[in-house]
Structure formats: C-alpha cells, structure tokens
C-alpha cells in the first residue's frame, strides 16, 4: 500500500521577505520617479503655455492701441488743441501735441502717475476713440455750442475731439456742460466752469496747443458732416501686482477727464523695452530711418509725427517657479547664462516677445 507523504507549509523565510521588500521598494521608487518627472514636465508645459498666452495678450493690447495712435478719422488735418495743459509731472495725459511718446527706464523722468518698475520703459498713446462717435448737426463757435443729430452720453469733463474732414480740421477740447441723464444733444466747449484741466480758449480752429498757442488757434465753424468722439490717452507700463507678480498696467482718462486708477492687463510681464522708428528724411515719407530709445527722440520729432513705428520687446515670466533649476534666457540682445550676464537665482521660465508696430496715422 502506497504511503502519502505530507509536506508542511512553512511560508516565506526571512531572506525571501527581504528580497520581496527590496524589489517592491525598487518598483515603488520607479513609480514615484515617473510620477515626479511627469508632474515636473506638466508644470513646465503649463508654465510655457500660459506664458505664450500672456505674451500674445500683451502684444495685442499694446499693438492695437499703438497702431491707432493719432487717429482723428481724417487722412490729414490741422489740429487745434484747446485743452489747458497745466504744468506738473502728470500733464502728459492732456498734451495732445504728442500722439505717442515714451519714457526710457533708468534715464527719463517718469510722470508720478506712471509708477513703473526700475529699468523698464513706458509708452503713452493718444487717439480718437473709434468705437463710438456722434454726427454734428450745427456748430455755433460764438456760444461754444455744438448741436448733435442725436442725444449723447458724453459727460462733463470728458476730453473730446471734433473732426471736419471736408475742411481738414480737428479740434480737441474738454466738455464744459453737464449731461447726467443722457437726454442732451448739445456739447459745450467753453472756458471756465469746474472742469480740470479745462479749456484755455473756446476757439477750436487752426492749429496749435494751449496755453502758448498765440493766434494760431482761431474761430471757425465745423460743418454738419463733422463727427465728435472721445479722446483716449493711455499710458502702458510694468509694475508689480498685489501678489508681487510683475504685470502690464494701463492708466487712461476717466469720464471726468482726469487720470484713472491703474488697470492690470496681463500678469507675468517682467520687462518692457521700447524703440521708436524715426523718419529722419528732410521730406517725411512715413518710413523709419533709425530706431531710437525714447530719451533720444526729440520733442520736435514727437510733435511732428516723425515716429513712424514702434518696436516692442517684452520679457514674459512664468507665474510659478516651474523649472527644476535656474534657466538661462535671452532678452534684448543679451544672454543671461552666468557668463557676461548672471544666471537667474530663481526657477522661473522666461521668454522674449518682440513685435514692430506701424503707426497708421503718424509718420505720413
């Protein structure tokens, strides 16, 4: 009769358990490494994507406004600027003799309203607001009243422009009447009142800028096909937001004609360097002959529309420190890699965005 041998289950020994644990640790370590690498790659990808998106937004905000600098709805026209330009560092917002001008970081004296980060540039753009305008029915220059075809929503203190392209004439003024209920069809361009900075004269014809316009601003009548639109005066600069992230900011004019509070447009814009394409030909042809920094452009070149284009150089930075170690980058012709220029000590991602904008209404 066959005898059945029974074996006793003894389980795993200590050696087998130790080997299994080591193998398990290797497997877990591999999984953790894969996850960590994947997570780091995801953060970098997200940082790059967001930086790319912010760069496009910043370029769009700036390019769209700069391109329209000096817009009056007329191909060529004389401009009578009746705004009383007061002295002081913030008079820039009402000086419509320069439809575009800039400030060079570290060199120019910035207006107190433009609190830009050290070393960064700023640009100011002025133009008519083409998004909304009103047709003129008749104009009485003696009583300084402009009657429109329809009621308007223009408020007392708003900086306005009237353009008669048939006569090649533009006038810039501050509305001096009250219109709280939007049921008025009359616009008044008188002196006095409680508006700031106010009008130095009720005359709106000819060419020149207050208060030293002399006799170049005269009395004239704008025809029935003239248009009235708001004036835009925007300053763009770089500043830190409440979270300490450098961002692109804008300051414009309120409906009372004073400088508005700062508006954050795009976060993660660390630097802005600007060059201006100046037409230096004896007879202007609207083509830039050289690119200059803002401090090298003369007052006459700003005022005479000799700035034909603007070259923007933006440095975008990721919002979070996404990289595993400090990253080298290039900006404004310089490489920051630890050689001539220092390597960053942080782990932010950075990228340069450069574009050149042709000024459609200047440089002609």
Q: CA–CA separation, 145 vs 232, rounded Å?
A: 22
pLDDT, tens digit (0-9, with 9 covering 90-100), for 329-363: 999 999 999 999 999 999 999 999 999 999 988 75
Q: CA–CA separation, 174 vs 193, rounded Å?
A: 11
Q: CA–CA separation, 156 vs 177, rounded Å?
A: 5
Give the domain ranges of the chain: 52-358
Beta partners for residue 159, in sequence order: 174
- Residue 192: left (phi > 0), alpha (psi -120 to 50), or beta? left
pLDDT, tens digit (0-9, with 9 covering 90-100), for 102-137: 999 999 999 999 999 999 999 999 999 988 899 999
Q: CA–CA separation, 55 vs 331, rounded Å?
A: 14
What is the reported pLDDT for 363?
A: 56
Q: CA–CA separation, 201 vs 210, rounded Å?
A: 8
Q: CA–CA separation, 159 vs 257, rounded Å?
A: 6
pLDDT at residue 175 above 80?
yes
- Lowest mean pLDDT: which of 18-32, 211-225, 321-335? 18-32
Q: Which residues contact 5 (CB under 8 A, 6 or more apart)?
A: none
Q: Where are the alpha helices (DSSP H) in 228-350?
A: 299-303
Query: What are the E-state strand segments in the chain?
Result: 78-81, 100-103, 122-140, 145-152, 159-164, 169-174, 184-188, 205-206, 208-209, 217-218, 227-240, 246-251, 263-267, 269-278, 290-292, 307-317, 329-331, 334-336, 350-358
- Lowest mean pLDDT: which of 1-5, 165-169, 195-199, 316-320? 1-5
What distance separates the 2 farthest-apart alpha carbons in the chain? Answer: 137
Q: CA–CA separation, 143 vs 197, rounded Å?
A: 20
Kindly provide the b/e burial profile for residues 118-128, where b requires at least 16 CB atoms within 10 angstroms of the residue's own CB: eebbbbbbbbb
Phi, psi at residue 291, to the nearest 5°?
A: -105, 130
Which CA distances in Å does 237 have to 32, 120, 249? Answer: 44, 8, 5
Pull the structure tokens for residue 172. 């810039």
Total residue count of the chain as it appears in this document: 364
pLDDT at residue 208 above 90?
no
- What's CA 6's distance to the chain center, in Å? 88
Q: Is residue 139 helix, strand or coil?
A: strand
Beta partners for residue 119, in sequence order: none
What is the reported pLDDT for 8?
A: 57
pLDDT, tens digit (0-9, with 9 covering 90-100), for 59-101: 999 999 999 999 998 988 899 999 988 777 888 999 888 999 9
Pull the structure tokens for residue 90. 């913030």
Q: How many CB atoms lie within 10 A of CB 225?
A: 12
Is the whole-model pTM more than 0.95? no
Cα–Cα nearest to 234, from 59, 359, 64: 64
What value does the mean pLDDT of the chain take? 89
What is the reported pLDDT for 362?
A: 72
Q: Which residues contact 161 (CB under 8 A, 6 or more apart)?
A: 72, 128, 170, 171, 172, 173, 228, 229, 230, 231
What is the reported pLDDT for 271?
A: 98
pLDDT, tens digit (0-9, with 9 covering 90-100), for 269-306: 999 999 999 999 988 888 899 999 999 999 999 998 89
What is the reported pLDDT for 221?
A: 97
């Amino acid at each position: 009769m066959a005898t059945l041998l029974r074996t006793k289950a003894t389980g795993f020994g200590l050696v087998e358990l130790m080997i299994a644990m080591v193998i398990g640790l290797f497997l877990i370590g591999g999984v953790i490494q894969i996850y960590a690498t994947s997570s780091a790659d995801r953060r970098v990808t997200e940082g790059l994507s967001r930086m790319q998106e912010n760069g496009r937004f910043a370029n769009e905000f700036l390019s769209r406004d700069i391109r329209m600098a000096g817009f009056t709805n007329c191909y060529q026209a004389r401009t009578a600027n009746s705004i009383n330009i007061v002295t002081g560092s913030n008079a820039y917002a009402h000086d419509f003799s320069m439809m575009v001008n800039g400030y060079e970081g570290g060199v120019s004296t910035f207006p107190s309203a433009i609190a830009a980060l050290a070393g960064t540039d700023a640009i100011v753009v002025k133009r008519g607001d083409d998004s909304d305008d009103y047709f003129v029915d008749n104009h009485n220059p003696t009583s300084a009243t402009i009657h429109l075809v329809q009621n308007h929503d223009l408020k007392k203190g708003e900086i306005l422009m009237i353009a008669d392209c048939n006569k090649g004439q533009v006038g810039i003024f501050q509305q001096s009447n009250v219109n709280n209920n939007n049921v008025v069809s009359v616009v008044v361009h008188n002196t006095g009142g409680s508006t700031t900075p106010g009008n130095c004269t009720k005359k709106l014809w000819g060419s020149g800028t207050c208060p030293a316009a002399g006799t170049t601003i005269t009395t004239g009548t704008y025809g029935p096909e003239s248009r009235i639109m708001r004036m835009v005066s925007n300053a763009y600069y770089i500043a830190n937001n409440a979270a300490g992230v450098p961002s692109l900011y804008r300051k414009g004019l309120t409906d009372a004609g004073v400088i508005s509070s700062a508006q954050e447009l795009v976060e993660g814009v660390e630097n802005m360097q600007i060059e201006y394409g100046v037409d230096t030909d004896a007879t202007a042809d609207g083509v830039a002959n050289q690119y200059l920094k803002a401090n090298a452009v003369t007052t006459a070149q700003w005022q005479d529309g000799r700035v034909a284009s603007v070259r923007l150089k933006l440095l975008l930075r990721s919002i979070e420190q996404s990289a595993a170690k400090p990253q080298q980058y290039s900006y404004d012709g310089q490489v920051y890699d630890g050689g001539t220029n220092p390597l960053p000590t942080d782990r932010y991602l950075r990228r340069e965005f450069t574009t050149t904008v042709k000024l459609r209404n200047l440089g002609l």
